[in-house]
Structure 1
Amino acid sequence: MTKLEFDIHNILITKHTDYKGYKIRFSIDQQHYVLLVGKTNILFPLSLIHTFNDKGTCKLCNKLVLPSNISQQVCPTLFNRRKELLTYFQEHYSEQF
């Protein structure tokens, strides 16, 4: 079973409305992120973005992030671990896929 060093909260998994796949919303240290997942025969991670409500610095990648309605920037730290994150969500929330 996949174990992450992040303390992940507020997980919301929904089907994406623009393409075949899912949008996984979650937070780490009260900062919000979205993992975009595509689906063919298998699930595959597409991107991972910050979705902050206020301008702030990401605690994971130290990037200055503008509010999500202005900018949706990739979090390089989580983007590089998107496959591991998807595996975690599939293992712990399989009934939502």
Structure 2
Amino acid sequence: MLVIRELPIEAITIYPSNSFDGMEILFRVSNHNYQFLIGNSKNPFPINVKHVFKEKAICPFCQKKILPVPLGQQLCIAFQKNQSALLQYFQEEYPDAF
């Protein structure tokens, strides 16, 4: 199980989605990029967390071999299991974005 608060999360970009009512959060951990989709901008809930890798690599969290974007936008099972804690982290650390 991941302990979200102990991860070196960086390069965070939070913005309203153009595709649905909600938000998208781009972030990097251990030199790997991820996209976190949040539904409903008034009562946010986690949808999914995808890998957004620029080159083929192994995800350090779920151990999947990930291909470069766009093929590499697969769900990260490790973050999926902890997406409620991830949402809570972003809401507490970046309350103005919510």
TM-score, with length taken from structure 1: 0.93
Rate the CA distance shift 1:52–1:4 in 2: closer, same or farther, 3 A: same
SS of structure 1 residue aligned to 2:25: strand
Letter in 2 for 1:65: I
What is the aligned-residue RMSD (CA, Å)?
1.2
The TM-score, its normalising length taken from structure 2, stands at: 0.92
Letter in 1 for 2:6: E
Instruction: Note the 1:23-34 alignment, pairs <5 A.
Output: 23-34=24-35
Contact 2:58 2:66 in 1 (8 A): yes
The code of the aligned residue for 1:87 comes to Q
Which secondary structure does the structure 2 equivalent of 1:4 belong to?
helix
Structure 1 outlier segments of 4+, above 2 Å: none
Structure 1 residues 40 and 30, CA gap change in structure 2 (3 angstroms): closer
Note if contact 2:39-2:46 (Cα within 8 Å) is conserved in structure 1.
yes
1:32 & 1:41 partners in 2: Cα distance?
A: 26
Aligned positions of 1:1-97 closer than 5 A: 4-39=5-40, 41-97=42-98
Amino acid at match of 1:43: P
Question: C-alpha separation between the residues in 2 aligned to 1:30 and 1:22?
Answer: 22
- Once residues 43 and 86 of structure 2 are traced to their aligned partners in structure 1, the CA distance between those partners, rounded to angstroms, is 15
Q: Which amino acid aligns with 2:24?
A: K
2-structure distance, mates of 1:65, 1:84: 23
Structure 1 residues without counterparts, runs of 5 or longer: none
